[in-house]
Amino acid sequence: MSHRTLAAVLVVVALGGACSSPPEVPVGPDGQPDPVLAQGRDIFGSRCSSCHGTSGGGNRGPNIQSEAVTTKYPDIADQTRVIGEGRNQMPAFGNRLTPQEIEAVARYTREVL
Ligand code: HEC
C-alpha cells in the first residue's frame, strides 16, 4: 500500500470513529469533564444512540437533543420518568439502570446534546 493510500485509509478510519461515538462532554473550569455527564455519555452510547442517533438527533426514536427535551420536559423528573417507565416503542430502563444512571443520561441529553 502506498503512503498516500495509507493516509487516506487513516483519515476515513478517524472520521468514521468520530461519527459513531456520541459528542464529548466539554471540560469544566478544572479542565475535567463533569463525571456524571461523562457517565451519561457512556450510557447514551451503549443504550440509547442505536435508536435516537449518535448525536440524539433521532432515528427510530425521536430527537432528544437539549432543545427538544428541555422544551418538552422543563422539569427533568418528567423526562427521567419516561426513561424509567418507557412509552410505546421506547423500552423501560427502570429495571436495567439505577435512578442515578437514568439521571446521568438525562442530564447528558439536556446539557451536552
Ligand atoms: C428500541 C429503541 C429505543 C431505545 C434503545 C431507546 N429509545 Fe428512547 N424512545 C424510543 C421511541 C420509539 C420513542 C418515542 C416513544 C413514543 O412514541 O411515545 C422514545 C422516546 C424517548 C423519550 C421521550 C421523547 C419525547 O419527545 O417525548 C426520551 C426522553 C427517550 N426516549 C430517551 C431515551 C434514553 C435516555 C435512552 C437510553 C437509556 C433511550 N431513549 C433508548 C426508542 C428508543
Q: What's the confidence (pLDDT) of residue 7?
A: 63
Please name each of the domains of the chain with its CATH number: 33-111 (1.10.760.10)
Ligand 1 pocket, residue 90 CB under 6 Å: yes
Question: Do 111 and 23 touch, CB atoms closer than 8 A?
Answer: no
Measured from the CA of 105, which atom of ligand 1 is nearest? 35
For ligand 1, atom 16, name the residue with the nearest CA. 88
* Each residue's pLDDT tens digit, 48-90: 999 999 999 999 999 999 999 999 999 999 999 999 999 999 9
C-alpha 30 to ligand 1 mean position (Å): 33
Q: What is the grid cell recorded at 63?
A: 430527537
> Ligand 1 atom 26: the closest Cα is on which residue?
62
Over residues 35-48, the pLDDT tens digits come to 999 999 999 999 99
